[in-house]
Amino acid sequence: MRIPLVIGNWKMNGTLVEARALATAVRDGLKRPRGTEVVLCPPFTALAAVSEIVAGTPIGLGAQNCHAEASGAHTGEVAPPMLVELGCRLVLLGHSERRKELGETDDQINRKVAGVLAHGLTPVLCVGESGEERRQGLTFTTVEGQLRAGLAGLDGASIARTVLAYEPVWAIGTGVNATPAQAAEVHGYVRGLVSELTSKEIAQTVRIVYGGSVKADNADALMGEADIDGALVGGASLNASGFIAIVRKAARGAASRGE
Ligand code: PEP
């Protein structure tokens, strides 16, 4: 059984005042989220404040990135133990905005995945093809390359602790989501690849979430697909009621599939 996971990626949005208000509204609107794990990923500057707001509730805290190493001369970076101290349970890694804007490489991302796991955090490894790659029929090639590189050197137990996020780059922040059939096709492919890298049993336990313009009005159809285990939500997570609606739809989707 895979419990759906809905992650709110606030990106570079939210002063402390705004972050406190949003986290409080999500917390109060989701007193007892049933059948879904919910994690908020505010900017680093708001992690401590949001941590206090969600403390003692089922809502988890996550970070949008971190360094692979535990400490050292890396100006401007944040290390996994610092995130643990703040109460984070999960870290987004390899988001396409970081790959594109900052040139993050598969190798760097792979080291971050290992670094995060070493500190008991859950990495969320983001993969996905660009619009051009999809047009050229390279979707599976791109996703496979990013996954193999991102998970390189990890044993089955470590991969079992990792969450995978399929985020087609052309769908992120564009308002154009992958259709449920497009997303399901890639999710099925990803699960097959995880099976090849580990075992059929482990592949059945790994959560693969979809990200890319998920909103309350498309969540039902996406979350109804068998291999879609939740959502990584960007823009729509900045609105508490819209985000809460997505969480409820993810729970309903899983329930309707008998999970
Ligand atoms: C994201 O931030 O990972 C994302 C999918 O953004 P959006 O929902 O805005 O497309």
> What confidence tens digit (pLDDT) does each residue in 65-119 have?
999 999 999 999 999 999 999 999 999 999 999 999 999 999 999 999 999 999 9
Rounded distance between C-alpha atoms, residue 110 and residue 122, angstroms: 13
pLDDT at 155: 98
Residue 259 has pLDDT above 60, yes or no: no
pLDDT at 32: 80
pLDDT at 100: 97
Q: Nearest residue CA, atom 7 of ligand 1?
A: 234
- Going by pLDDT thresholds of 50, 70 and 90, the confidence category of residue 154 is very high
Rounded distance between C-alpha atoms, residue 41 and residue 90, angstroms: 9
Q: Please say whether the beta carbons of 6 and 90 come within 8 A.
A: no
Per-residue pLDDT tens over the stretch 209-229? 999 999 999 999 999 999 999
Return the amino acid letter for 80. Answer: P
Rounded distance between C-alpha atoms, residue 59 and residue 52, angstroms: 11
pTM of the model as a whole? 0.97
pLDDT at 88: 98
- Dihedral, CA of residue 170, residue 255, residue 90 and residue 172, to nearest 10: 10
DSSP assignment, residue 121?
P
Q: Checking DSSP bridges between strand 208-211 and strand 37-41, what pairing results, if any?
A: unpaired
Determine the residue of 172, 176, 215, 237 to mutate for testing ligand 1's pocket, defined as the one with the most ligand atoms within 8 A of the Cβ atom.
172
- Going by pLDDT thresholds of 50, 70 and 90, the confidence category of residue 258 is low
Q: Is 38 in the pocket of ligand 1 (CB under 6 A)?
A: no
Q: What is the H or E stretch that residue 232 is in?
A: strand 230-233
- In the three-class reduction of DSSP (H, G, I as helix; E, B as strand; rest coil), residue 89 is classed as strand
DSSP assignment, residue 178?
P
Token couple for 206: 């790994």
Per-residue pLDDT tens over the stretch 237-252? 999 999 999 999 999 8
Rounded distance between C-alpha atoms, residue 166 and residue 129, angstroms: 9
pLDDT at 33: 77
